[in-house]
């Protein structure tokens, strides 16, 4: 196993009075793909969103326990959430490019970080789009609206936009669930390339996708982490009956 990048320690989360995550502890390795699977409402997306503190935006959420990234507790009082989110990027289920040009979408992150030189921005935009494997498709229309692109292209624009701020971890919340099979294949291929440099955590409903793309898989059920192991072991020889039932399609 590679170095541990993310370490959750007894993490519990409540929406008001209802307990959505129960004492989650897990170690997520660096520069690998970790998949979260489980039926709807099992807490996998909620857990994903604790890793860049997106749950802070929701009223009424209380969190206990700790999440360490590079051995720093991100729920510590002194943590700057803005810096945390630069380090931990996020791709959402529904592609959400801004109603701006392709170029402005990618340049958004660098610009809010104070980069204003046109040359530097051009360079970042080109590099990020190339990394997200969409440069060839959009290089001729960088100044067209990002919303004029197809759904699959929009999602890759969102990935490029995240890469442009140089994150170390990329969280993906069902990034391909709204896409057709060809676009999905492109995203999966991209995930495979990106793990050379980034730690990737992906939530997915699609078990084949988890099996294809990930090195490690975590199975969540009713707010609990049931099982976490190497993907090939989870799918070939799960230790828990609930995991086996879920991956063999007996429920969920």
Partner 1 sequence: MNRNLKDTIVESLTGVCVLLIIFIIVSILAVTIVGGWPNLNWAFLSEFPRDGMTKGGIFPAIVGTALMTIIMAVAAVPFGVITAVYLAEYASEKSVFAKTIRFAVKTLAVVPSIIFGLFGLGFFIGFIGKNMDTIINGGQLRWGQPNILWASFTMALLTLPVVIVSVEEAIRTIPKEMREASLALGATKWQTIKRVVIPGSVSGILTGTILAVSRGAGEVAPILFTGAAYFLSDVPHSLSDQFMSLGYHIYIMSTQSSNVDATQPIQFATTLVLLLLTFSLNAIAVTLRYRIRKKAQ
Q: Which residues bind partner 1 (CB under 8 A)?
A: 52, 54, 57, 59, 82-83, 85-86, 89-90, 92, 94, 96-100, 108-109, 111-113, 145, 147-148, 158, 161-162, 165
Instruction: Enter the tokens of residue 244.
Output: 């086996």
In terms of CB distance, is 36 or 228 closer to partner 1?
36
In terms of CB distance, is 75 or 92 closer to partner 1?
92
Query: From its phi and psi, is residue 223 left (phi > 0), alpha (psi between -120 and 50) or beta?
Result: left
In terms of CB distance, is 132 or 207 closer to partner 1?
132
Q: CB of 196: closest distance to partner 1 in angstroms? A: 22
Q: CB of 152: closest distance to partner 1 in angstroms? A: 17
Handedness of CA 242, 245, 246, 252 (dihedral sign): negative
Name which of 44, 52, 51, 55 is nearest 21 in CA terms: 44
In terms of CB distance, is 54 or 225 closer to partner 1?
54
Query: From its phi and psi, is residue 38 left (phi > 0), alpha (psi between -120 and 50) or beta?
Result: left
Instruction: Work out the number of other CB atoms within 10 angstroms of the CB of residue 206.
Output: 16
Q: CB of 82: closest distance to partner 1 in angstroms? A: 5
Tell me which residue has tokens 């709807």.
40
Instruction: Work out the number of other CB atoms within 10 angstroms of the CB of residue 130.
Output: 14
Q: CB of 52: closest distance to partner 1 in angstroms? A: 6
Q: CB of 96: closest distance to partner 1 in angstroms? A: 4
In terms of CB distance, is 5 or 238 closer to partner 1?
5
Q: Are strands 33-37 and 199-203 parallel, antiparallel or unpaired?
A: parallel
The gap from C-alpha 120 to its chain's centroid, in whole angstroms, comes to 27
Tell me which residue has tokens 């399609």.
249
Q: CB of 7: closest distance to partner 1 in angstroms? A: 21
Cβ–Cβ under 8 Å, residues 181 and 189? no
In terms of CB distance, is 74 or 247 closer to partner 1?
74
3-state class (DSSP) for residue 165:
coil
């Amino acid at each position: 196993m590679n170095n541990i990048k993310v370490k959750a320690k007894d993490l519990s989360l409540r929406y008001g009075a209802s307990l959505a995550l129960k004492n989650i502890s897990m170690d997520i390795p660096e520069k690998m793909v970790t998949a979260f699977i489980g039926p709807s409402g099992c807490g996998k997306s909620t857990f994903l969103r604790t890793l860049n503190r997106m749950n802070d935006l929701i009223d009424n959420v209380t969190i206990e326990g700790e999440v360490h990234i590079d051995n720093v507790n991100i729920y510590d009082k002194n943590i700057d959430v803005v810096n945390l989110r630069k380090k931990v990027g996020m791709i959402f289920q529904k592609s959400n490019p801004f109603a701006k040009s392709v170029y402005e979408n990618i340049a958004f992150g660098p610009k809010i970080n104070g980069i204003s030189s046109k040359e530097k921005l051009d360079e970042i935009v080109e590099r990020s789009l190339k990394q997200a494997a969409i440069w060839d498709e959009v290089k001729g229309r960088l100044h067209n609206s990002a919303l004029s692109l197809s759904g699959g292209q929009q999602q890759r624009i969102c990935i490029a936009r995240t890469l442009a701020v140089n994150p170390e971890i990329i969280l993906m919340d069902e990034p391909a669930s709204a896409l057709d099979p060809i676009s999905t294949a492109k995203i999966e291929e991209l995930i495979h390339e990106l793990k050379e440099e980034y730690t990737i955590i992906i939530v997915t409903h699609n078990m084949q996708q988890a099996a294809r793309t990930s090195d490690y898989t975590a199975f969540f059920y009713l707010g609990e982490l049931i099982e976490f192991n190497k993907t090939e072991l989870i799918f070939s020889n799960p230790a828990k009956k609930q995991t086996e039932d879920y991956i063999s399609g007996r429920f969920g």
